[in-house]
């Protein structure tokens, strides 16, 4: 996964904005849903070069962001763009990295989590739930399978391709295997979120907000 994105650093932003239906609308929409109080603490999973942060910093320039991404070149580009902002960078997998408990006002992820199974997501979403302060929320902007049969088809094709190429490891590969919205909500509920709503939709991309109880 990191090799894929590092090799595409020069065209990464153009691809994200122009090849994904609705991207020029859902990136600023996502930013508008994030906390607006001064010095809000936000954890950005799969932050890339910070396309959502471009809009968020316009609205909340004092926000304190921790960005996690596998690709060091994307993080370097992000650091260069926002050298005057309160940014902390962590290179690695958000599955492996520990999150501080009750630390963040919000966690956000945009077009990053459509490669993983429900079973893989539940432990990650549990970490997110525990990292949020009471009343904090997880904002997920991602694209989803339209039907359960489509979801199964994506996963089967990935397994077929890996078998055909003799790949038997458990590393993450850049092949899209999105869940349905219903299965995504199921994973969030299993992690402890009870207040979950879809805030918007652009083609196959949805914005889902999952809030932690305030007490």
* Residues paired with residue 41 on neighbouring β-strands, in sequence order: 64
Same domain, 105 and 153: no
Give the mean model confidence (pLDDT) for residues 184-211.
Answer: 97
Residue 6 has pLDDT above 90, yes or no: no
Same domain, 156 and 72: no
- Tens digits of residue pLDDT in 64-98: 999 999 999 999 999 999 999 999 999 999 999 99
Which two structure tokens, joined as six digits, stand for 76? Answer: 């370097």
- Tens digits of residue pLDDT in 138-173: 999 999 999 999 999 988 897 888 788 887 766 666
Same domain, 95 and 64: yes
Nearest to 112 by CA among 22, 30, 158, 178: 178
Q: Write down the pLDDT at residue 195.
A: 96
State how many domains the chain has.
2
Same domain, 74 and 155: no
pLDDT, greater one: 8 or 121: 121
- Please give the model's pTM, rounded to 2 decimal places: 0.89
Same domain, 198 and 94: yes
Nearest to 109 by CA among 160, 51, 47, 163: 47
- Tens digits of residue pLDDT in 49-65: 999 999 999 999 999 99
Same domain, 6 and 47: yes
Same domain, 22 and 94: yes
Same domain, 69 and 163: no
- Domain of residue 153 covers 149-176
* Cβ pair 107, 168 in contact under 8 A: no
Gap between the Cα atoms of 53 and 63, Å rounded: 10
Residue 104 has pLDDT above 90, yes or no: yes
């Amino acid at each position: 996964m990191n090799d894929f994105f590092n090799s595409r650093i020069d065209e990464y932003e153009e691809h994200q904005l122009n090849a994904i239906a609705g991207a020029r609308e859902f990136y600023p929409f996502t930013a508008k849903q994030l906390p607006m109080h001064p010095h809000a603490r936000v954890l950005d999973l799969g932050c890339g070069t910070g396309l959502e942060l471009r809009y968020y910093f316009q609205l909340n320039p004092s926000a304190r962001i921790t960005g996690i991404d596998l690709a060091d070149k994307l993080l370097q580009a992000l650091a260069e763009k926002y050298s005057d902002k309160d940014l902390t960078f962590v290179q690695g997998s958000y599955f492996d990295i520990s999150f501080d408990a009750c630390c963040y006002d919000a966690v956000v992820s945009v077009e990053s989590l459509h490669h993983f199974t429900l079973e893989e997501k539940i432990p990650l979403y549990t970490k997110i739930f525990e990292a949020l302060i009471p009343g904090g929320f997880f904002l997920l902007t991602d694209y989803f399978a339209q039907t359960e049969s489509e979801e199964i088809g994506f996963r089967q094709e990935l397994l077929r391709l890996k078998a055909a190429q003799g790949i038997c490891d458990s590393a993450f590969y850049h092949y899209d295997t999105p869940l349905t919205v219903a299965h995504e909500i199921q994973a969030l509920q299993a992690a402890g979120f009870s207040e979950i709503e879809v805030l918007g939709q652009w083609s196959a991309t949805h914005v889902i907000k999952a809030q932690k109880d305030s007490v």
